[in-house]
Structure 1
């Protein structure tokens, strides 16, 4: 067994152990303690029992953002950029991404094992760069390192898109043969199969549309994308702290009045430099990353749209066939009603001759007279029926 297989088995065993205790929370002090799976920037993973308030302090997230990740609550797909973290709720992935680690829950899902493995492989590889950004990852010194948060975010998007694409392809392989079979033979079993397929199609389409809308919302707002540059904001904050410390040392020995004026100026400079830094963040790198997965999710949405159109066309075709059958039944009903009317006319003649009365036809009656009367009645009914059918076809009633 090579190192990669051993590493994968270790991850799956760790995920499985966590899945056993997932959902179990304990009260510790005034908060709720939950078991989190943490993947660091070096690719190492471990389980850590963290209190909710500790997570809030650790990531800088408010309580309402942590509710988005609660597996007991149903929230739509969401990607939130905050000051110190990115909150990701996509399909089976519920994670908090910071500048140096990823905290995940809901790992009892089997799909999480593959996601964690992909995430570790991506962040542990120093040469790993987003495949969409090869042209822009170079600076004056050469090759630029991709921020950890972008690697983690790309892993989340890739895993979610792969999951949706797999379900879409599976549904396609089941839907088209079932719809074709229904058009060739309308039966209760085929109708039930198509009904179940349509229900799954509606559910998957809704999930894909939510992910698409979230990516589109991010692409339309540069400020939201700028919030996701966690490493750059962290570096900028460190540089500000260093610069402020140097300015403080240089100002030692000056008068108190001058100190007050210089403090005001330094605050103004700090605020101005902070605003300038936030406005000067180039979001092109993240924009290209999001656009690539937006195109992928848009392609999945188009596949589902085509499948929906095929289902609608099949339903229209089935309705036309059923309407045609209904028209045929109505025509048959008209013909049977006409035949019934003609037969009733013959019954009237038979009833007339069956009356217990004396008429000259009964005197000295011969068998030939009986047959003449019978055949004449039957022939008259047939002629009357044909005349009624001809009139109905002429009026387009049949």
Structure 2
């Protein structure tokens, strides 16, 4: 079955080359499913290895070719590119954004836009299986308008910078729109979690957290791509394609226009990253608080269970005494009129003592602090104490020590030396060792 599918897709020669040896099992899937997936992947790869679909704009902003198919080798030869350069544009699985500067062109791969910018032409590559058709349509309409406005209407920017700015505007607008949607959803959900915590809201919080983390990573990659091109002075100077076409040479350090253009959109991307980071931090804090609340509720249930266990132990202790006297043996108090009341009272008192003692121990366990069990109340040192000395800052302790100091001076010198009380040095006491 598997070999017949591959033979139908690729022919007998390819099918025989890909046929699996008999008795060899798949690592993850069964043989039929894996061969079908492999066949579709190779068929798609074989088709895309030769042709690319592009939409072309001329210097005036007019669309000259709509979704036309071009051979890759022809595109490379026409625009002076290498096959590895085109791979960064047509492979849908590449999610890392790029802004690459070549000799006579600029390659841009940002979100839903994959473009080849030249001094008088721009090619937009159609990505197979893309879900951003509406965003791409809006971008193409905006790009057409900016290219038709001309250089004077755009502040004297050349053709390639107008095209690049249109791309950056579309990318940042898409990021801002997605950020606003996620921000509204997350803030609303966090507000609801403050009022009530249930399973459905926690599940939504997990979903939004994953989406927000993915969005934050995407925004960071775009910001880093712009930052990377800003740090390369030679690439910034090479982005003046119109001057290259006219035969003009530009020094490496003169790239003010393109640098200001990229810096403005870099700040926008950085702001988006900061907002998304704040939202992620809010989600993390909410998750920690929810975990603390759930732990507190769990501890309350455990304490309630312990209280019931202590009560059961106390009642069982009284029942044990009653059981001793309930044996069918002579105990020499059968004829006593006060035996019933005495045994019942003793059993009740014994049960009460057990319950009170157990609850007292449980309460002391609840009062554990960072200074140890009842450390703050009894003056004991806990596990957070450092060293063997403790500085005494209590005014009463200082006054008592000052009185002892004056008495010592009077016995030694016959009078008390006057001094400024504020200059009395801070004293350190060594706690008494337990005997």
Scaled by the length of structure 1, what TM-score is found? 0.74
| Contact 1:87/1:95 (8 A) holds in 2 | yes
Matches within 5 A, 1:20-31: none
Counterpart residue number, 1:58: 78
Counterpart residue number, 1:115: 139
Unaligned runs of 5+ in 2: 1-42, 369-435
Deviation track 1:255-301 (CA, whole Å, cap 9, x = no partner) reads: xxxxxxxxxxxxxxxxxxxxxx3435621000000011001111101
Deviation track 1:156-196 (CA, whole Å, cap 9, x = no partner) reads: 11111111111111000000111222233222111100000
Q: 2:204 aligns with which of 193, 199, 202?
A: 193
Distance 1:355 1:219, change over 3 A: same
How large is the Cα RMSD of the aligned pairs? 2.5
Distance 1:337 1:33, change over 3 A: same
Matched, 1:215 2:226: yes
Q: 3-state DSSP class of the match of 2:350?
A: helix
Matched, 1:87 2:59: no
Q: 3-state DSSP class of the match of 1:95?
A: strand
Matched, 1:313 2:313: no
| Contact 1:36/1:105 (8 A) holds in 2 | yes
Matched, 1:165 2:176: yes
Q: How far has the Cα of 1:317 moved from its partner?
A: 1.3
Counterpart residue number, 2:359: 389
Q: How many residues align?
A: 320
Name the CA distance, whole Å, in 1 between partners of 2:101 and 2:239.
Answer: 5
Counterpart residue number, 2:10: none
Counterpart residue number, 1:331: 303
| Contact 1:68/1:75 (8 A) holds in 2 | no
Name the CA distance, whole Å, in 2 between partners of 1:324 and 1:159.
Answer: 48
Q: 3-state DSSP class of the match of 1:361?
A: coil
Q: How far has the Cα of 1:67 moved from its partner?
A: 0.3
Name the CA distance, whole Å, in 1 between partners of 2:148 and 2:267.
Answer: 27
| Contact 2:57/2:121 (8 A) holds in 1 | yes
Name the CA distance, whole Å, in 2 between partners of 1:385 and 1:285.
Answer: 82
| Contact 1:79/1:88 (8 A) holds in 2 | yes
Name the CA distance, whole Å, in 1 between partners of 2:247 and 2:319.
Answer: 105
| Contact 2:314/2:350 (8 A) holds in 1 | no
Name the CA distance, whole Å, in 1 between partners of 2:315 and 2:135.
Answer: 73
Name the CA distance, whole Å, in 2 between partners of 1:228 and 1:327.
Answer: 64
Name the CA distance, whole Å, in 2 between partners of 1:287 and 1:129.
Answer: 20
Larger helix fraction of residues: 1
Counterpart residue number, 1:246: none
Name the CA distance, whole Å, in 2 between partners of 1:193 and 1:280.
Answer: 51
Distance 1:372 1:104, change over 3 A: same
Q: 3-state DSSP class of the match of 1:300?
A: helix
Matched, 1:106 2:126: yes
Matched, 1:146 2:157: yes
Counterpart residue number, 1:70: 90
Q: 3-state DSSP class of the match of 1:380?
A: helix
Matches within 5 A, 1:246-257: none
Considering Cα pairs closer than 8 Å and 6+ residues apart, tell me whether 1 or 2 has the greater RCO.
Answer: 1
Deviation track 1:86-116 (CA, whole Å, cap 9, x = no partner) reads: 1010000011111111111236522110000
Name the CA distance, whole Å, in 1 between partners of 2:252 and 2:232.
Answer: 15
Q: 3-state DSSP class of the match of 1:186?
A: coil
Q: 2:61 aligns with which of 43, 49, 65?
A: 43
| Contact 1:183/1:317 (8 A) holds in 2 | no
Counterpart residue number, 2:323: 351
Distance 1:24 1:377, change over 3 A: closer
Deviation track 1:318-345 (CA, whole Å, cap 9, x = no partner) reads: 1221232233233223323322221221
Matched, 1:291 2:291: no
| Contact 1:183/1:318 (8 A) holds in 2 | no
Q: How far has the Cα of 1:309 moved from its partner?
A: 1.5
Deviation track 1:295-318 (CA, whole Å, cap 9, x = no partner) reads: 111110111011112112212211
